[in-house]
Amino acid sequence: MTWAANPFSNPHRAAQAYARVGVETGVAGANPHRLVLMLFDGALKSLSEARGHMQRREIPAKGAALSRAIQIIEEGLSASLNDPEGGGLAEQLKELYAYMTRRIVFANLKSDPRVLEEVATLLRELRGAWDSIGERAGAGG
């Protein structure tokens, strides 16, 4: 997979996606690149919280954390992809995000923290790649 093309959309669309999922504060001053990083961080935080709730058998809290992770992935990361500009990479990412969502649902049904770790590993890898793009591009979006 090449990261040459920017699969994510314009700053306004990324900001709107971020605002919809309400991960954290600080959206107003963040550039589009940073917004995507914040989405990754929010999803990872929600998965981590869900693992803790699983271990403590806190079912409603587990469900809420997993729902938040799914919302961030679907309405944030996936929705902010730019299909025309991102081409095949954007399509591959959409498929990967859909896979992550299915795995989160499965983890919720089975209360399986290993599945959540699988999704978290994928998100961390994508986050790291996205972060390195920003470093090379000067984080200008």
Per DSSP, the residues of 94-128 read HHHHHHHHHHHHHHHHHT-HHHHHHHHHHHHHHHH
Calpha distance 90→24 (Å, rounded) = 25
Question: Taking Cα atoms as reference points, which of 95, 92, 91, 102 lies closest to residue 69?
Answer: 102
Calpha distance 33→55 (Å, rounded) = 34
Say which residue, 138 or 130, is predicted with more confidence: 130
Distance of CA 25 to CAs 6, 22, 35, Å? 24, 8, 11
Q: How confident is the model at residue 104 (pLDDT cuts 50, 70, 90)?
A: very high
What pLDDT score does 3 carry? 43
SS3 29: coil
Query: Where does 11-135 sit in CATH, by number?
Result: 1.20.120.340
Average pLDDT over residues 11-35: 63
Which residues are paired to 81 by β-bridges? 8
pTM reported for the whole predicted model: 0.78
pLDDT tens for residues 42-71? 999 999 999 999 999 999 999 999 999 999
Q: Is 51 left (phi over 0), alpha (psi -120 to 50) or beta?
A: alpha
Calpha distance 74→88 (Å, rounded) = 18
